[in-house]
């Protein structure tokens, strides 16, 4: 890597830190559009997730529910919703069980229901060891990049590169006029 590439990565990291304090969808989209694409092989592994607050109705939902992140075993085996329980045990939820209409039409109710206890109870029914999504290269906002396509929901999580161990995701969900943004950091950096 040359000095220019290092400076560019450092600038993207600084911008992300600033945006993580809260921003608008428009600002997040403008920044996202300038990020380099991700290839599928760079997504493989375990990722710790955090939300990138933009005023989206889903802001805060995943954090309150104990969302840990995502796991990508290979291009055809992705786990979009990995949560942590007390004691640190991780488990995956089947997103097909999520009441998506609450997320798009009854946001207040969804916000009230989001808690670690509800997710823990839901894991008894909706917990899964099977992958519930896959990775493909798709075009979003004029750039072809790695995208997680949910098996049972009209959701695509499109990824862009911040650095070798950090990506930003834009959740493109049918019924939502604006994407929901999140950050993934590789749990075992390269």
Model confidence at 103: pLDDT above 60: no
Average pLDDT, the chain: 87
Between residues 98 and 129, which one has the greater pLDDT? 129
Between residues 39 and 61, which one has the greater pLDDT? 39
Taking residue 64's Cβ as centre, other Cβ atoms within 10 Å add up to: 15
Confidence at residue 42, expressed as pLDDT on a 0 to 100 scale: 98
Domains and CATH numbers, the chain: 3-186 (2.40.128.580)
- In degrees and rounded to multiples of 5, residue 42 shows phi and psi of -75, -15
Give which of 14, 39, 19, 44 is closest to 29, Cα–Cα. 19
pTM (predicted TM-score): 0.87
Q: What confidence category does residue 122 fall into, taking pLDDT thresholds of 50, 70 and 90? A: low
Residues constituting the chain: 190
Between residues 55 and 2, which one has the greater pLDDT? 55
Rg value, the chain, Cα: 16
The set of long-range contacts for 158-164, using a CB threshold of 8 Å and a minimum separation of 24, is 159/38, 159/43, 159/184, 160/32, 160/35, 160/36, 160/37, 160/38, 161/35, 161/36, 161/37, 161/38, 161/42, 162/9, 162/12, 162/13, 162/16, 162/35, 163/9, 163/12, 163/13, 164/42, 164/189, 164/190
Region 75-95: mean pLDDT is: 86
Confidence at residue 165, expressed as pLDDT on a 0 to 100 scale: 97
Model confidence at 124: pLDDT above 50: no
Model confidence at 110: pLDDT above 60: no
Give which of 151, 166, 146, 153 is closest to 52, Cα–Cα. 166
Helix (H, G, I), strand (E, B), or coil: what is residue 76?
Answer: coil
Q: Read off the pLDDT of residues 3-43 as tens digits, 9 standing for 90 and up.
A: 889 999 999 999 999 999 999 999 999 999 999 999 999 99
Q: What confidence category does residue 116 fall into, taking pLDDT thresholds of 50, 70 and 90? A: very low
Confidence at residue 113, expressed as pLDDT on a 0 to 100 scale: 52
Task: Using the Cα atoms of residue 99, residue 101, residue 107 and residue 109 in order, give the sign of their dihedral.
Answer: negative
Region 157-168: mean pLDDT is: 98
């Amino acid at each position: 890597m040359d000095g220019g590439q290092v400076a560019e990565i450092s600038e993207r990291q600084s911008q992300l830190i600033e945006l993580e304090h809260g921003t608008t969808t428009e600002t997040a989209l403008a920044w996202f559009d300038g990020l380099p694409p991700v290839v599928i092989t760079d997504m493989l592994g375990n990722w710790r997730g955090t939300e990138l607050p933009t005023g989206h109705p889903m802001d805060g939902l995943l954090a309150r529910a104990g969302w840990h992140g995502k796991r990508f075993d290979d291009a055809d085996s992705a786990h979009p919703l990995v949560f942590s329980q007390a004691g640190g045990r991780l488990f995956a939820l089947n997103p097909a069980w999520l009441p998506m209409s609450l997320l798009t039409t009854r946001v207040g109710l969804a916000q009230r229901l989001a808690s670690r206890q509800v997710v823990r109870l839901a894991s008894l029914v909706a917990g899964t060891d099977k992958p519930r999504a896959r990775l493909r290269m798709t075009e979003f906002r004029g750039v072809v990049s790695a995208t997680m396509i949910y098996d049972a929901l009209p959701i695509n999580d499109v990824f862009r590169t911040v650095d070798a161990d950090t990506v930003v995701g834009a959740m493109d969900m049918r019924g939502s006029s604006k994407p929901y943004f999140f950050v993934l950091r590789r749990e075992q950096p390269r």
